[in-house]
Amino acid sequence: MKTSAMLVMAAFLMSAAVPVFANTAQEQQTCATSANTCLDKAQILQKRIKKMKADVKKGANYSPEEMKMLEQKLQDAMDQLDKVEGKK
């Protein structure tokens, strides 16, 4: 009886694991590509944010309207980065 129960349980567990291994090469490639794209986007946003923060620190070369616009762009870039990283 225990043997039968173990066989049934093993069959059930194996059937649950089959979809995990069912990914085709195309699906695996798509997943890897999207992960790299997300990472690249995060790195680009981080560089952009760093450059904008440096521009904001300089500040003297900009009019008040330009500073306000620059600060808004900085905030938008930081929000995008948060979304890419899954923080928001």
- How much is the average pLDDT of 68-81? 88
* Of 47 and 58, the one with more pLDDT: 47
pLDDT for residue 78: 87
Does 48 reside within a domain?
A: yes
Among all chains, which residue has been given the structure tokens 């990472």?
Answer: 39
Burial letters for 22-55: b for 16+ Cβ neighbours within 10 Å, e otherwise? eeeeeeeeeeeeeeeeeeeeeeebeebbeebeeb
- How much is the average pLDDT of 61-65? 82
Does 17 reside within a domain?
A: no
- What confidence tier does 36 reach under pLDDT thresholds 50, 70, 90? low
- Rounded to whole angstroms, what are the CA distances from 32 to 22, 23, 35, 79? 16, 12, 5, 24
pLDDT for residue 71: 87
Does 12 reside within a domain?
A: no
Does 18 reside within a domain?
A: no
First to last CA, the chain: 52
Does 78 reside within a domain?
A: yes
- The tally of domains found in the chain comes to 1
Does 75 reside within a domain?
A: yes
Model pTM score: 0.53
Domain ranges, residue 74? 40-88
Does 50 reside within a domain?
A: yes
